[in-house]
Amino acid sequence: MNKLAFALVACTLLAACSDRAPTDTPAADAPASDASATAPAAPERDASDATDATPAPATPAPADGAALEADYLGRWTGVEGMYLVVAAKPGGGVTLEMQWDLDHKGTFDGSVTAEGLRFMRDGVAESAVRTDGDATGLKYLAGKKDCLTVKPGEGYCRD
């Protein structure tokens, strides 16, 4: 019985950490013949279960995600004319307009994640993560506090 309880707790914790929507499944202790009768009741029982209270706060995540996204919006300045402008897209996500070296500039669709800005540039998945100016590896940005680093030698800061 203890192994079964441990397995149920482990599955619940894994489900709580998942980014996938839950599916309706019959309760583990319900007989197979009663699965159709107990399936609608399972969400009601799960809602009152203390172990399933963790996913409920995930509902405010879009608001937190929107606040997180707002932290990235605006203009970020690099070195020698490099820049990054992050704008919200009407359907969700962000657009990144950037000049990342002397010869290359473009506009890319992206998303804000807990790790930072994610986008595809020239077929390569890139991330711009929150750092300070020292972490960019660029002398001009050293000492700045609010920065994004894509890779060593490519960074953008707010003044």
Domains along the chain with CATH numbers: 2-59 (no CATH), 63-157 (2.40.128)
Q: Is 32 exposed, middle or buried (0-12, 13-18, 19+ CB in 10 A)?
A: exposed
If residue 38 lies in a helix (H) or strand (E), which one and from where to where?
Answer: helix 35-38
Beta bridge partners of 75: 85
pTM of structure: 0.58
91-121 pLDDT, tens digit per residue, is 889 999 999 999 999 999 999 999 999 999 9
How many H-runs (helices) and E-runs (strands) does the chain carry?
5, 8
What average pLDDT does the segment 68-88 reach? 94
Whether the predicted pLDDT of 74 surpasses 50: yes
Euclidean distance between CA atoms 76 and 84, whole angstroms: 5
